[in-house]
């Protein structure tokens, strides 16, 4: 057993009794990683993607138990109806964060193996990291509408359909030509929608930034921004449960991954919230904020009470480092004393 505290076990332990469960590690991963005695590193055993997701099980019986606890702990009423804060819980957002942890874990272990001149172990870890990064890129491109290969396939298919339609017209086979025309129209609509979604990622303006402390307008809980999308990227079933289409701006607005203070409710670790449902703090919030993921995503708090995202998190979302504005009036007052 490797000494030190590990990401995977500490996440499971800190969320035990909440929404995370036990970790089942793959034997081949354990045998490989146990060759590297990471005494001074807090990153722990690598897990395969499907094993990582077991940190956050989604069984219906467990979900029902958690939902009942949330309603008992955190009721919210609107127009006389009780609303469940749990409707914005996101398994997909939690998965995204766990895969990010996995990536950091592998990068750290590769560097340690190289420092210890364990080149064979480093190469095996590098191969695993390549697989993880390929999956991350695939998911990122899928959010933007389609992957590069899918876009190329659609473009090639569009050219083929147009050629077939032209031939059908020349052969005076107008029934086939009409069917091909409908297929072309449908494919062009799909390509246009994917292009528009991809363009939104380039031009969107976010009201909130990584690490910023916010408060939920309806439920009132305190949270920290740890991820963002220009539009809602959840499944249609999730959007139906979360009543996304009933929002003023619907699904076509920025949505944020937020860490929810576990002292308010330990079951709602990660929520996926529309921009219109979040409020920025008018005054700096320096109060304690507890979450098992915070220490891995952020360096700590700045002087305004917001969290400072680690470099890799800023790079993931292509965001610059936020600098806290300096109050020049205080400086002038200090200089006059």
- What's the pLDDT score for residue 42? 34
Residue 32 has pLDDT above 60, yes or no: no
pLDDT exceeds cutoff 60 at 1? no
Which structure tokens are listed for 125? 């870890």
Half-sphere exposure of 8 (CA within 13 A, CB side): 24
Whole-angstrom distance, CA of residue 180 vs CA of residue 171: 14
What is the distance between the alpha carbons of residues 52 and 317, in angstroms, rounded to a whole number?
A: 22
Report the range of poorest mean pLDDT among 52-56, 169-173, 235-239, 266-270. Answer: 52-56
Question: Quick check: 264 pLDDT over 90?
Answer: no
Among 22-26, 110-114, 308-312, 324-328, the range scoring the smallest mean pLDDT is: 22-26
Rounded to a whole number of angstroms, the CA Rg of the chain reads: 24
CB 256 within 8 A of CB 228: yes
What is the average pLDDT across 264-281? Answer: 91
Kind and range of the H or E run holding 272: strand 270-274
* Residues comprising the chain, all counted: 337
pTM of the model: 0.66
Domains in the chain: boundaries: 1-143+204-322, 148-203
């Amino acid at each position: 057993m490797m000494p030190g505290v590990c990401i995977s076990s500490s996440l499971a332990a800190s969320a035990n009794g909440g929404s995370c469960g036990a970790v089942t590690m793959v034997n081949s991963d354990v045998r490989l990683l146990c060759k590297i005695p990471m005494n001074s590193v807090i990153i722990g055993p690598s897990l395969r993607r499907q094993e990582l997701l077991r940190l956050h099980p989604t069984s219906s019986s467990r979900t029902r138990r958690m939902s009942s606890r949330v309603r008992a702990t955190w009721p919210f009423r609107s127009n006389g109806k009780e609303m469940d804060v749990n409707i914005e819980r996101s398994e997909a957002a939690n998965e995204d964060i766990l895969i990010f942890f996995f990536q950091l874990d592998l990068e750290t272990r590769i560097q340690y193996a190289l420092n210890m001149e364990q080149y064979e172990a480093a190469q095996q870890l590098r191969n695993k990291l390549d697989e993880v990064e390929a999956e991350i890129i695939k998911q990122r491109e899928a959010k933007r509408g389609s992957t590069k290969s899918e876009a190329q396939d659609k473009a090639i298919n569009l050219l083929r359909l147009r050629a077939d339609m032209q031939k059908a017209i020349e052969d005076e086979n107008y029934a086939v030509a009409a069917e091909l025309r409908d297929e072309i129209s449908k494919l062009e609509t799909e390509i246009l929608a994917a292009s528009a979604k991809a363009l939104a990622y380039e031009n969107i303006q976010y009201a909130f930034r990584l690490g910023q402390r916010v408060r939920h307008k309806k439920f009132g809980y305190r949270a920290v921004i740890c991820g963002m999308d220009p539009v809602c990227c959840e499944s249609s079933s999730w959007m139906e449960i979360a009543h996304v289409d009933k929002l003023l701006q619907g699904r076509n607005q920025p949505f944020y991954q937020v860490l929810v203070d576990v002292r308010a409710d330990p079951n709602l670790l990660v929520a996926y919230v529309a921009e219109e449902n979040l409020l920025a703090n008018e005054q700096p919030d320096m109060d304690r904020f507890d979450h098992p993921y915070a220490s891995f995503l952020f360096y700590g708090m700045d002087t305004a009470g917001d969290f400072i995202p680690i470099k890799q998190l800023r790079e993931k979302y292509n965001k610059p480092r936020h600098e806290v504005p300096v109050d020049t009036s205080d400086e002038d007052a200090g200089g006059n004393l």
